[in-house]
Amino acid sequence: MASTTSATGIVTLDNFASRLPQWDPSLPSHLYALVDMGSNGIRFSISDLSPPRARLLKCLYHERAAVSLFDALNKSASSGPLTFPSDVIAQVSRTLARFRSTANDYGVPYEHISVFATEAMRKAENAASMLDAILASSGLDVHVLAPEVETLFGAMGARSQFTSVNGLFLDLGGGSVQMTYLDSSVNGHELAAAQTGKSLPFGAARLTDVLENGNVEAQATSASTLQEGMRDAFAKLQQQFPSLRDAQNSPENTGIDIYLCGGGFRGYGSILMHADPIQPYPIPTVGGYTVQGAFFNRTKDMRKINAEYEDKIFGMSKRRRRQFPAIVTVVEALVAAIPRIRTATFCSGGNREGALSMILPKHMREEDPLPLLSQVIDNGEAGILRSVIHLVQSSLPSNFDISSIPTVFSLGLGTCFIGNMWARIGESNDVNASLELNQAVTRDSSTPGLTHLARAVLGLTQCYRWGANLSPADRVRFVNLQKLVGQSNPEANFWAEYIGTVASLLTIVYPAKPSASDSLRTSVKFRSTLKRGSKKEQVQLDISLSPAIYESLNVADLLASHFKHVGKQRDVADKTKRKVEVVVHKLVY
């Protein structure tokens, strides 16, 4: 790695690729360590990019050192140029040396260790002294990112959490806030986002200092300059991207989707979750949390909650609570610049995930991550998995298009759900129902693709697969997940129950996981239609079984009774009256 102790070491769009470690499927190690020296704190992580699941950016270890480089610089502002005090340089050097030791303990190759620095290091007059001290103590070079590369990594880190995106991306750190536009369907969207993005020097820590220590005139000037900068950045992005302009101005469109990353914005998301109409909110992580624009815009209410709520707010440290007025100032500037926000999604990904994504080949960055969650061992098992997915999907009504309704299939979770159907079958149904419900909402907190809606649909469907007989404590989460799903589409709750019950039925027909896909095709077939009556809808499910299965253990009556409670939910807002009628046939060859 080249030294960054001079201006020539700044990482730009022209040279960033050469500063990243190399990735190749044939490498003996796919462990990568990254240090992100942000203005609010220093984050260290070790990730496993082993094929074929490199796209998941699996984090093996992470740590945050509460060292505010911005605060360190700010202390020197009154006495002269912005400089890091010697004790901070020593503290940071020791921290990086410990990170290097941890990376060695995990077996990360030296050439796979990267250290990035952002706004604070760009501003410090004595940055070279800090970089030299780090090199001497840890043997590590620090790459100081140009603003456009910071925008690239932030946007790609947020983008990495989703299969596809189209919207504005904003990253709020301690020293600056970045705005850019990203449409993943357009070739070359990564560099376009970086080249057209705008970095404004109004991070959470910087604004907090102005609001707490500046006079009234300075506070008003900063807020006005920030709003003007936001409007200017948005106007330029609209000029560059006609699709963004159309989304904002066309009466046919309902507004713009925005994606927010960085600790500051995640703090705002944490208070939105605290104030969410669904309480207690059933999913603990803010990553993947989506709200409608009208709720996102309620900045006055969020200010009041932060000021008046004396107990701890989950996800909010004391430092973040103190910075919240500055965070809301940024949100208010954003709302003023973009009056038609359709949805706001908070992203767990940031510079770390963005840098890791850019290490991977383009085709892997664009890969759908959700199928990778299923632990498929070989091609034979993959064939069985596809057969089961096809069989369960064939139980959906042929005369009703549910592709627009959130289900495990429309959300891309088919392999994740079906791959787990026969897991822990030796445990009781009640234990498994509880475990699957809770695991879906807590598993792999930073796993790409698992939005809150996806987690809720997966958790409910898996819970129904095991009968959904829950304890009172689990019932609270279950009902609130139904409410969350109902916000998207109330009918999705019925289909989660229906698909989960079909899966449960299959495990009665096949108590053990099928060993060959051919046996499925010759043993069981589904066909269903949706019949609409004046007062009630009915799904007629025809199940055809092989003679051997049909005649064993009176299975026909057992399967028919399996669905008698489906559609009789009392905990959700779906008022559609719908039931399932099951008819079991004997297959005729």
Nearest to 69 by CA among 8, 21, 146, 130: 130
Q: What is the reported pLDDT for 380?
A: 73
* 199 within 8 A of 176, measured Cβ to Cβ: yes
Which residues share a beta bridge with 344? Answer: 258, 291
Question: Class assignment of domain 370-586?
Answer: mainly alpha
Looking at the chain, the number of H-run helices and the number of E-run strands are: 25, 14
Contacts of 306 (CB under 8 A, 6+ apart): 271, 313, 321, 324, 325, 328
Nearest to 357 by CA among 190, 199, 187, 194: 190
Q: Can you state the percent helix, strand and coil of the chain, rounding each to 5?
A: 50, 15, 35
Nearest to 195 by CA among 255, 232, 250, 155: 155
Contacts of 411 (CB under 8 A, 6+ apart): 370, 453, 454, 457, 458
The type of residue at 229 is G
3-state secondary structure of 277: coil
Q: In the CATH scheme, what is the code of domain 162-348?
A: 3.30.420.150
Among the CATH numbers 3.40.50.300, 3.30.420.40, 3.40.1080.10, 3.40.50.2300, which is that of 7-145?
3.30.420.40
Q: What is the reported pLDDT for 576?
A: 63
* 44 within 8 A of 65, measured Cβ to Cβ: yes
Q: Do domains 7-145 and 162-348 have the same CATH topology?
A: yes
The whole model's pTM is what? 0.89
Q: DSSP label at 341? A: E
Q: What is the reported pLDDT for 375?
A: 66
Q: DSSP label at 575? A: -
| Cα separation values, 232 from 149, 229, 336, 562, Å | 20, 5, 12, 60
Cα–Cα dist 200/222, whole Å: 11
* 318 within 8 A of 234, measured Cβ to Cβ: no
Cα–Cα dist 127/44, whole Å: 20
Nearest to 282 by CA among 412, 149, 475, 137: 475
Which contacts qualify for 423-427: CB closer than 8 Å, 24 or more apart? 425/507, 425/511
Q: What is the reported pLDDT for 81?
A: 83
Cα–Cα dist 41/174, whole Å: 8
pLDDT in tens, 419-445: 889 888 888 999 999 999 999 998 877
Give me the DSSP letters along 252-263.
TS--EEEEEESH
3-state secondary structure of 157: helix
Q: What would you report as the CA-atom Rg of the chain, rounded to the nearest whole angstrom?
A: 27
Q: What is the reported pLDDT for 187?
A: 82
* 166 within 8 A of 243, measured Cβ to Cβ: yes
3-state secondary structure of 239: helix
* 20 within 8 A of 114, measured Cβ to Cβ: yes
The low-confidence residues of the chain, meaning pLDDT below 50, are 1-8
Length of the chain counted residue by residue: 589
Maximal CA-CA distance, the chain: 91
Q: What is the reported pLDDT for 6?
A: 40
Per the structure block, which two tokens stand in for 537?
């809808």
Which contacts qualify for 559-568: CB closer than 8 Å, 24 or more apart? 559/505, 559/508, 559/509, 559/584, 560/584, 562/501, 562/504, 562/505, 562/508, 563/501, 563/505, 566/494, 566/497, 566/498, 566/501, 567/494, 567/497, 567/498
Q: What is the reported pLDDT for 2?
A: 36
Q: What is the reported pLDDT for 4?
A: 39
Nearest to 266 by CA among 146, 184, 158, 365: 158
Q: What is the reported pLDDT for 5?
A: 39
The domain limits of the chain are 7-145, 162-348, 370-586
| Packing angle, helices 379-393 and 491-509, rounded to 10 | 120
* 117 within 8 A of 91, measured Cβ to Cβ: no
pLDDT in tens, 282-299: 999 999 999 999 999 999
